[in-house]
A and B are shown apart, each in its own frame.
Chain A
Amino acid sequence: MAKEYVFGIINDIQKMSMNDGPGYRTTVFLKGCTLNCEWCHNPEGKNRYPEIIPFISNCTGCGECLKVCPTDAISLDRETSTPHIDRRLCITCLQCVNACQSDALIKWGKIMSVDQVMEEVLKDKLFYTNSKGGLTVSGGEPMAQPNFVKALFKAAKKENINTALDTCGQAPWDDYEKVLPHTDLVLFDLKNMDTRKHYSYAGLGNKLILENAEKIAEKEINMRIRIPVIPGSNDTKENWEKTAEFIKKLGKAVQGIDLLPYHPYVGGKYKAFGMDYPYPVGEGLEDELIEPIIKYFIESAPEVSVGG
């Protein structure tokens, strides 16, 4: 049988993932996103191209990366003796990554074929069977690589593995049409019902996203709606009411709603990237803050959970 030589850009394959759909799952994180949310929890997934990200706690301060950098983009932080990459000078030649022996400079974005990914996915098949789990693609935005996701899901379905698509909704409908026939569950993000606010926080309006949600629901594919709760962005009574109403209209395709509290620990990641993070760092949303939000959604879906 001919092999499918379709390649994707992968950030990470996480096994025994318990929060991206039912059961034990293997979550494949794809690189590249169609939105640009300010609070993004996986900033390493934003850009489509491979890039270098320092992982400070692994650094031994050996200085090998400085020696090999052709553009002198790396300097040592005097206090911590750890590398800082000036993104304006870096040409992503990856020489420093090869020189680093302690996994302190990591190249994000690995090009892998469907077969290579499936080899890893199949290793945990026993666990999917016993826990009613399966494969989830996430990102970045998996729909930025629709042909790869389609081929991967097709291969998974051939092995009788449950497939879940974790999507922000921002992709052409034609692309969804390619992927949905091989998808068992869609984890669909709804960030803000106000398209202007959506534009200012996520880089684009929500028109296409809402349309896609309706179309997926019409096809009666199982959906879970995932709502990030971001203080200062979407945490208003008005937004929750409108979101709840919209979900209600989607009908019985919606199996449940997951409220995902904003988590502040991502600040460290941004620091490592040399990026600024516009949200408070170090203070999470306490349960008391999220509890009152649940009541808006109780009538919109059979199940509302916190965390997912």
Chain B
Amino acid sequence: MATTAKEIKEFEEKQEWWWVAEKTRSSRLDYLRKAVWKKGALGGNYAPGIEIDLEFPELYTETWQENEGDPIMLRKAKSIGNVLENLPIFITDQSQIVGCVGSAPHNIVSYWQGASMINEEIYNEQGILPQPEEKSLERLAALNEYWGGNTALDELAKVLDPEDAVKFMSGAIGWGTPSSAVGYATKDFRHIGKGFENIIEEIDENMERTDKLLRGNPSPDLLPLYDKLPRWEAMQEVLDAAIEYAARYARLARIIAENFETDPKRKEELLRIAETCERVPAQPPRTLQESIQYDHFVQVVVRYETYEGAMPHRPDYLHGPFFDKDVNINKSITRDDALDLLGEHLIRTYEIGIFSPRWTREGLQGITGTWVWTMGGVNEDGTDACNDCTTAYMQVARLVRIANPTFSFRWHPKVKDELMREIFECIRHGLGYPSLRNDPILVENAMYWHGHPLREARQWVTQSCMSPCPPTKYGCQPFRMASATANCAKIVEYTLHNGYDNVVNMQMGPKTGNAVDFKTYDEFFEAWTKQMKWLLNILVRTVALGRAKDPEFFSRPILSAYYERAVETGTDAVDYTNGERGNAWVTAFTWVENADSLAAVKKLIYDDKKYTMAELIEALKNNWDGKEEMRLDFVNNAPKWGNDDDYVDDIMVQCLKTTAAHGKEIKCVCGNNIPILPENVSGNIHYANVVSALPNGRRLGDALYDGGISPGPGLDKKGPTAVLKSCGKIDHVLDGRAFLLNQRLSPTQLAGEKGYQLWKSYVKSWDDLGMDHVQFNMVDDSTLRAAQKDPEKYQEVIVRVAGYSAHFVDISRKTQDNIIQRTVQGLG
């Protein structure tokens, strides 16, 4: 059982980090890590044993039906209240943090109020229905019968422009649902931290004041106040329910401790859980355990309201003071105790599972949501905000090794070397996180694009995976789809085909002219610009209407209680008139294909005149069939992004600047600008069958490029420094909101002190080039396996073997297998 230091050292040398983690973590973390269910779908399917929770929607629907006459927010608050007060709860053995989304550890949840099409999908989903299946189908049928045609999305569909709606819903040009039913929201942490009872008291005062006004002199000013009262009532209802939810855990813990638990140590822990849940979230936390428990309740409770697919958060900043107090000052717990709490914080978050429709599962493979926690950064006054808790999170991440949440680190020049080493260790252990974000650049960017004042901008957290948003009173962004997601490869596709979509077979974009008639590249680019503007406009229009109607159709009592500005004004958090500054962007999926396609057109059609436009369009319409030689010419003999080649890099910059200029013309519901943000999640796979053949040599069905500004796989022939140089030509403040760059590095090349110094100098160069984001993928198992199947696309994968480096595709199958065995990853 006992593992010697020598054995651990051997695992380290073999880079079997998952073994190192298992052998060095505490027995509690080991148990909790192994006991937690994997809720993300892999390859589109849920793991065996995962079940959809039916108790939750039934409790919700029951109250919803009973309160038909109530205003929506109150009706919804009562429904959530019924769930929080009656849904079965449980405490996992050895656990110290409680609270789960769903009535059992293996359950995933869904929200029947959201969208009929998702409800129907659940009915037809194989393998996730509780046994006996027949009974479950009956229960589902009853739920679907009630909600069918009456969900938030059904309501929205009735008010959308029919043409816009058809194009939006075609799935060809955009991704996502313009409703809070599927989204995410920044949290107003300073306000939430007051304690729920104090927020309830604030609301009481607001209601009393309003009541007095309503009994005073009549005036038109009084009329809007009548609607505020039931909203305040709704906010109080959910806050009370949340306090009761915690109290139920307190009671359960006490019952187990006093009646069943025989181990005195565990008994003590259960009593501590009870005391903690009696304190939070009603009152502000005093200890690290209370602080994390509070935080977890906040995140769990809001997920009984809606599918929050992201988790904008800054845990080291929030829990840092309590960590310092408990571990370093009054020493009430040891550092190992604290690591157990932080480790369980990660595990309990990982445990949250929400049903995703198939298209979301393809876009976000293997995870429930993009839960990126923001770490590090600066304080409002610009001083270094990194603390001992930041370090502890980095250390415990390597011990529990989970894929969700992940960390995003706000790098700045004042970060201490010791912390950089901890971050490097996480990356070297193949976690793939933290990603690095350039704090000074992103603060400047937030001020430039959205006008956040300096002190507000300095508080930013990652809204979902990439976009920074300050979690402040007026900075918080309540509605993910205030930001549209565009399938940008369609811009160049429509430019070539006069706005016609050959995959879905309909006129989508505007008729910008037959590309054969364009005499010069400039004319071609002008048509591209028109298609780009059309794409952004239709998406933003649709989403803006969805957002404006959201309080009416969906409503968010819990989020409203979490927002100081909503509590103050008695409005829905999503209401755009309550002082929100506006922090919208357009996520640009499949962006880089534009630069490479435009460069190929410019080079081979207009400059070299090797082919005519008619030939190209014909070849593209036939998906390059019978034109393999010509296709390879477009792949190999046209410049590609990421090789430090000005020919194509200038085109990339031109595309971005043109789009950025339009981003200042279009406005979000708050009247603020809308920059683009190139990134892909795994949309590059999702869109493979939606984007037709392109001039970069891509065929319909081929996966698209994998990062926001990452070069095409296998097309960055000059190595990582050239990629960085190309990306450095983009102005990361003026040209967009943020730019995702994936960088694959070899774990063995970065071994030891020399490896750390090389990595650090890489980061320095990244900063010198003014870039805002980079994430490092140490070559992992799946990549290497894919490289075996498809060597052409993975030529840049470098592995180090027995003292030298080799391109993976160049070495024999047997050796490849050997290397895969050695570098296999342990990410759950």
Closest A-chain residue to B720, C-beta based?
A16
Q: Of residues 257 to 301 in A, which have CB atoms within 8 Å of B's CB atoms?
A: 259-261, 263, 265, 267-269, 281-282, 284-287, 290
Is residue B133 within 8 Å, beta carbon to beta carbon, of the partner chain?
A: no
Is residue A199 within 8 Å, beta carbon to beta carbon, of the partner chain?
A: no
**C-beta contact mask, B779-817 vs A, less than 8 Å → 1, else 0?**
000000000000110000000111111100111101100
Is residue A123 within 8 Å, beta carbon to beta carbon, of the partner chain?
A: yes
Is residue B578 within 8 Å, beta carbon to beta carbon, of the partner chain?
A: no
Q: Which of B633, B764, B811 lies at the interface centre, i.e. has the most chain A CB atoms within 10 A of its CB?
A: B811
CB of A131 within 8 A of CB of B644, answer no
Bound form: Cα–Cα A15–B798 in Å: 13
Bound form: Cα–Cα A19–B801 in Å: 13
Note all chain A residues with C-beta closer than 8 A to B621. Answer: none
A-B contact count (CB 8 A): 104
Bound form: Cα–Cα A250–B759 in Å: 33
Q: Which of A19, A57, A58, A62 contacts B804 (CB 8 A)?
A: A19
Note all chain B residues with C-beta closer than 8 A to A101. Answer: 628-629, 632-633, 636
**C-beta contact mask, B46-75 vs A, less than 8 Å → 1, else 0?**
000000000000000000000000000000
Whether A24 touches B721, Cβ cut-off 8 Å, given contacts A130-B768, A282-B812, is: yes
CB of A131 within 8 A of CB of B757, answer yes
Note all chain B residues with C-beta closer than 8 A to A284. Answer: 801-802
Closest A-chain residue to B722, C-beta based?
A15
Whether A15 touches B810, Cβ cut-off 8 Å, given contacts A101-B629, A282-B815, A307-B803, is: no
CB of B757 within 8 A of CB of A265, answer no
Is residue B758 within 8 Å, beta carbon to beta carbon, of the partner chain?
A: yes
**C-beta contact mask, A114-152 vs B, less than 8 Å → 1, else 0?**
000000000110110011110000000000000000000
Bound form: Cα–Cα A64–B373 in Å: 54
CB of A126 within 8 A of CB of B758, answer no
Closest B-chain residue to A259, C-beta based?
B803
Closest A-chain residue to B768, C-beta based?
A126
Closest B-chain residue to A14, C-beta based?
B719
Bound form: Cα–Cα A276–B796 in Å: 27
Note all chain A residues with C-beta closer than 8 A to B636. Answer: 101-103
Whether A127 touches B812, Cβ cut-off 8 Å, given contacts A18-B749, A57-B791, A261-B803, is: no
CB of B768 within 8 A of CB of A263, answer no
Nearest chain B CB to A277's CB is how many angstroms away?
12
Note all chain B residues with C-beta closer than 8 A to A58. Answer: 792
**C-beta contact mask, A82-114 vs B, less than 8 Å → 1, else 0?**
000000000000000000011100000000000
CB of A265 within 8 A of CB of B725, answer no
Bound form: Cα–Cα A62–B802 in Å: 36
**C-beta contact mask, A8-26 vs B, less than 8 Å → 1, else 0?**
0000001110110001100
Q: How many residues of A contact B (CB 8 A)?
A: 42
Nearest chain A CB to B492's CB is how many angstroms away?
23
Bound form: Cα–Cα A188–B815 in Å: 30
CB of B765 within 8 A of CB of A15, answer no
CB of A123 within 8 A of CB of B644, answer yes
Whether A263 touches B803, Cβ cut-off 8 Å, given contacts A268-B811, A269-B810, A282-B815, is: yes
Is residue A6 within 8 Å, beta carbon to beta carbon, of the partner chain?
A: no
CB of B764 within 8 A of CB of A130, answer yes
Bound form: Cα–Cα A269–B628 in Å: 27
Note all chain A residues with C-beta closer than 8 A to B214. Answer: none
Bound form: Cα–Cα A131–B763 in Å: 10
CB of B757 within 8 A of CB of A60, answer no
CB of B758 within 8 A of CB of A281, answer no
Is residue A208 within 8 Å, beta carbon to beta carbon, of the partner chain?
A: no
Q: Of residues 1 to 50 in A, which have CB atoms within 8 Å of B's CB atoms?
A: 14-16, 18-19, 23-24, 41
Q: Which of A19, A57, A62, A267 contacts B805 (CB 8 A)?
A: A19
Q: Which of B632, B761, B802, B809 lies at the interface centre, i.e. has the most chain A CB atoms within 10 A of its CB?
A: B802
Bound form: Cα–Cα A14–B633 in Å: 24
Note all chain A residues with C-beta closer than 8 A to B757. Answer: 131
CB within 8 Å of B: which residues of A?
14-16, 18-19, 23-24, 41, 57-58, 60, 62, 64, 101-103, 123-124, 126-127, 130-133, 259-261, 263, 265, 267-269, 281-282, 284-287, 290, 306-308
Apart from A131-B761, A131-B762, A284-B801, what 10 extra A-B contacts exist at CB < 8 Å? A23-B758, A62-B629, A101-B628, A102-B632, A124-B725, A263-B803, A265-B801, A265-B812, A267-B812, A268-B810
